[in-house]
Amino acid sequence: MNEIILIDAGTGNLRSVQKALESVGATVTRTDDPQAVLSASKVVLPGVGAFGDFMAGLRARNLEGAVKEVAARGVPLLGICVGMQALFEVGEEMGTHAGLGLLRGRVLRFADNLSVKIPHTGWNQLEARQGAPLFNQIKAGAYVYFNHSYYCQPEDGSDITAEVEYGIRYASAVQRGNIFGAQFHPEKSQAVGLQILKNFVEAA
């Protein structure tokens, strides 16, 4: 089944994610209805902007519990950008905010003393873990597009499926069972990003 529930938490441009998913064969329903999320066979949680605002948007729409329930049930869930960050326990953007807690770890700001510009905006190479389902048919060193000022620090290193070097080495993708995350924007990453989305749609 290639039906995807695309969660609308009230932040970000969901149209580009929807069009990218549709271009790889998914049937996409964009919604902020918790009942639709609870009936999903696959879920994508995209987000841009501030961590706290994103989580507030989920809670205002009663989506937090629905996301946690489908994740616990084993429904494949992909978080993109802030959507990946929200999978973790705590975000430290503009204060300390609780995340979904589906993965152990925190979301931290890049240090001011790095030799690179923050936010991390532009194309960088992925170092993907061999055998990770999201990166099936993705060549080593493929480039993807990033745009963020905070990064995820998983507590369990085995959750990391790809890393990137940008001033520091950090997790650019994660997976634990049915829970997937991409810090980069696959919908803006051309053919590589579309293949990653296709892998989620078909393999998850």
Q: Minimal CA–CA distance to 74: which of 161, 176, 160, 155?
A: 176
Catalytic residue among 97, 120, 148, 185: 185
**Euclidean distance between CA atoms 67 and 59, whole angstroms:** 11
Identify whether 81 is a catalytic site residue.
yes
Sign of the Cα torsion 91, 94, 96, 98 reads negative
Burial of 39 (0-12, 13-18, 19+ CB in 10 A): middle
Kind plus residue range of the DSSP H or E element containing 46: strand 43-47
Helix, strand or coil, per DSSP, at residue 27 = strand
Catalytic residue among 3, 22, 81, 127: 81
Helix, strand or coil, per DSSP, at residue 110 = coil
Identify whether 93 is a catalytic site residue.
no
Contact 106, 92 (CB under 8 A): yes
Identify whether 152 is a catalytic site residue.
no
- CA torsion 144-95-176-178 (nearest 10°) is -90
Contact 62, 97 (CB under 8 A): no
Report the catalytic residues. 81, 185, 187
